[in-house]
Structure 1
Amino acid sequence: MTNPPQSRPGDPEPGHHPPRRDEDLAALLTRLLAQAPGRTQKELAVEAGISYPTLNAWVNRTRGTSRIEPEKLRAMVAAFRRWGVRTTPKEFFEAAGRPVPGPSEDEREARLLKLYRQLPEARQRALLKDAEAMLQVSRIV
């Protein structure tokens, strides 16, 4: 008589499909929708605040994903999580071919906003330009 294999740390939970490293956004969305029985692309679009034609174009690979707003990727993650599907923002950003942003902490964001509000208007505009340039560089690298 043999014993069943023991699970080890890092093993996927039963019924949870591990992310695939070579998965693009279309494949990720298809896989996660399959893990949400009865849910549709239209429901995901509504839940995530994305137009259905746009979401459908991503799934059918007729529209690129490199310019998707980070908030839309996070909104899809949140929708799947509400449906009981395990996923992460990292999984979505990687699948969309985007750099994975660092963790967002309320305290850090509040500090940045406080500093921004103390700057004269010309410095605020300069800070925004710098931040946009940093974002562009991070997309290239």
Structure 2
Amino acid sequence: MIRRNQRTGELAYYRCWNRQPVPLARLVKVAGRRWSTEENFQSAKTLTGLDQHQVRSWRSWHRWTLLAMLAHAFLTVSAVTQPDDPAPTELIALTRNEIRRLFTTLVSAPVHTLRHRMHWSHWRRRHQYRARRSHYQRRTQPTP
């Protein structure tokens, strides 16, 4: 299977094999799962410090990894279970990054008022919505 980048024209090759014939749509779906898995690991490293442990023993590494993955699962479930349209139309939905940021600022020693923190979250999500909309508009334009 060959995938071509729409913008650069770069080709990516996948070697696929199965005992029985498989529809192309299923092959594409399986190949695409690789990217979501890599993104989830990268997100876990960034959000929950999955890669911050200094290994000294198997038991401590196992506990650290389990704790980081549970924290990442908490953020993921919190983001997925948000109501479909809780926010005004010019905001993106709450993401794992935003939930972690809000959770951290609400739990840690308050530096600013709750109103200030919620206003800052609203501003950031509105900015991300506009950036995403602009990105999608640019991608739908035909390449020269």
Point out the structure with the larger helix share: 2
Point out the structure with the larger strand share: 2
Whether TM-score is above 0.5 comes out as no
- Higher RCO (CA < 8 A, seq sep 6+): 1
TM-score, normalised relative to structure 2: 0.28
